[in-house]
Amino acid sequence: MPRHAPAAPLVRAAITTPHGTFLAHFTDHGLVRIGFPSQSKREVRSDELSEKQERWLKLTRAALAQLFAGEKLRDTPPHDESAGTDFQRAVWHSLRQIQAGQTRTYSQIAAAIGRPRAVRAVGTACGANPIPLLIPCHRVVAANGLGGFSGGLAWKKRLLAAEAAALKTRSARR
């Protein structure tokens, strides 16, 4: 089944972090997309959000802070994955099972969803992930190295390093 746009209207909200301003897109069903900071310095204005979208924005902001601290995500807004195919949603579900500080290969994800020969398709689904920070495709690596990442390899390395550092800190405290 081809990807399609979400049926519900999109509203957007800027989330300013020490790592740049991310752009979150919401429908009435949840967070549908989050974009990495642009290289441009243009200001991004937020649309008017409903009360529930405001709550989801707060959850998204908190989740980004947790992610950059290498912490386990405690609570995230509902995800509107209606633009994904059944296969993509299966991959994205599998990605959410990978704990912070851990990685899986594309072939491990393919096996986990019962499609062991669909390794390249898993990579494509990771690249199509519209919520790449909260659906952690940065934790999926190639068998011979990092692989790709929709936000770029610098972001993938940054996110994996933050998670690894947080794990070391937690281990040292024990």
User: Which residues fall within 8 angstroms of residue 113, CB to CB, at 6 or more apart?
Assistant: 87, 90, 91, 94, 122
CA dihedral 65, 71, 72, 77 (to 10 degrees): 0
Place of tokens 């550092």: 165
Is-catalytic flag, 126?
no
Q: Which amino acid is at 152?
A: G
Q: Rounded CA gap, 25 and 130, in Å?
A: 10
Which one is catalytic: 137, 140, 160, 162?
137
CA dist 159 and 157 (Å) reads: 6
Residue burial 51-77, b: 16+ Cβ < 10 Å; e: rest: eebeebbebbbebbebbbebeebeebb
Which residues form the catalytic set? Answer: 137
